[in-house]
């Protein structure tokens, strides 16, 4: 099981990967949206903002998020680390229900370029 620190590091790595994105992925990374990443096995939620081509984690909350973010991810800590390290395919994980991504339809179309 991944730790809270490993999950935070994975989100930081994802943020760095977004900053170096090019083309359509760079356009998708430039969205300005509230973000939450719920880690089910640790019962924590990272909340922050996707802005300036990166994810800025503003807080780590115990339990589910208190407010509904515009972009919401839900998964285990192990899956977050595996996704960011390229060991887990996002489309397959999303299709099988291991990873949940919720957002408005327009945002989902933009985000698919990143994922």
20-29 pLDDT tens trace: 777 766 676 6
Burial class (CB in 10 A: 0-12, 13-18, 19+), 71: buried
Per-residue pLDDT at 114? 66
Mind spelling out the 3-state secondary structure of 55-67?
EEEEEEEECCCCC
Q: Say how far residue 37 (Cα) sits from the centre of its chain.
A: 6
**pLDDT tens digits for 15-63?**
888 777 777 666 766 789 999 999 999 999 999 999 988 889 999 999 9
Per-residue pLDDT at 25? 67
- Average pLDDT in the chain: 90
Give the pLDDT mean for 88-106.
93
């Amino acid at each position: 099981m991944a730790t809270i620190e490993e999950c935070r590091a994975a989100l930081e790595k994802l943020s760095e990967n977004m900053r170096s994105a090019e083309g359509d992925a760079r356009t998708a990374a430039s969205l300005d949206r509230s973000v939450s990443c719920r880690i089910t096995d640790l019962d924590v939620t990272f909340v922050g903002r996707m802005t300036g081509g990166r994810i800025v984690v503003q807080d780590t909350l115990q339990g589910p998020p208190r407010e509904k973010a515009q972009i919401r991810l839900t998964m285990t800590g192990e899956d977050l680390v595996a996704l960011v390290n390229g060991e887990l395919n996002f489309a397959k994980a999303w299709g099988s229900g291991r990873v949940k991504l919720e957002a408005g339809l327009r945002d989902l179309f933009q985000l698919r370029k990143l994922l």
